[in-house]
Amino acid sequence: MQKVNVKNKFDLFQDYWSPKVVGDLNDSHIKLAKLKGEFAWHKHDNEDELFYVIKGRLLIRLRGEDIYLNEGEFVVIPKGVEHLPVAENEVHVMLIEPKSTLNTGDVLNEFTRRDLDRI
């Protein structure tokens, strides 16, 4: 059985907004992503999404509320809630969400990623 060292995994890729699968947990994927800049407003109609900050500081904008996540902090964005991740500087996050989740949710744009790499 293979353990995962999260920080070591982040050394294996550099591209932003392109989640990598690092584990399977029941019906969910455990993913790592590097973020920088502003993503796009979206929501996931059927999936809650965990954002856990491993490094850096992530702003998650909601309609009417801003949440700043520092290292060691997480938030669960419930299904159906519009959100916009913003990383002023590079941020490393762990994401846990159902395997059915598309990164841009209900929106298709230049950030959309299908068939995620497994590292």
Choice between 17 and 32, CB closer to its own copies: 32
Choice between 65 and 110, CB closer to its own copies: 65
* Rounded least distance, CB 94 to its own copies, Å: 9
Choice between 17 and 53, CB closer to its own copies: 53
CA angle 83, 11, 51 (to 5 degrees): 20
Tell me which H or E stretch contains 7.
helix 6-10
* Rounded least distance, CB 15 to its own copies, Å: 22
Choice between 39 and 51, CB closer to its own copies: 51
* Rounded least distance, CB 78 to its own copies, Å: 8
* Rounded least distance, CB 16 to its own copies, Å: 21
Residues forming contacts to its own copies in the complex (CB under 8 A) are 1-7, 23-28, 30, 47-48, 50, 54, 62, 65, 67, 69-70, 72-78, 81, 96-98
Neighbours of 83 (CB within 10 A): 21
**Residue 26, CB-side half-sphere exposure with 13 Å CA sphere:** 3
Paired tokens of 20: 């990598």
Paired tokens of 31: 């993913």
CA angle 90, 44, 18 (to 5 degrees): 35
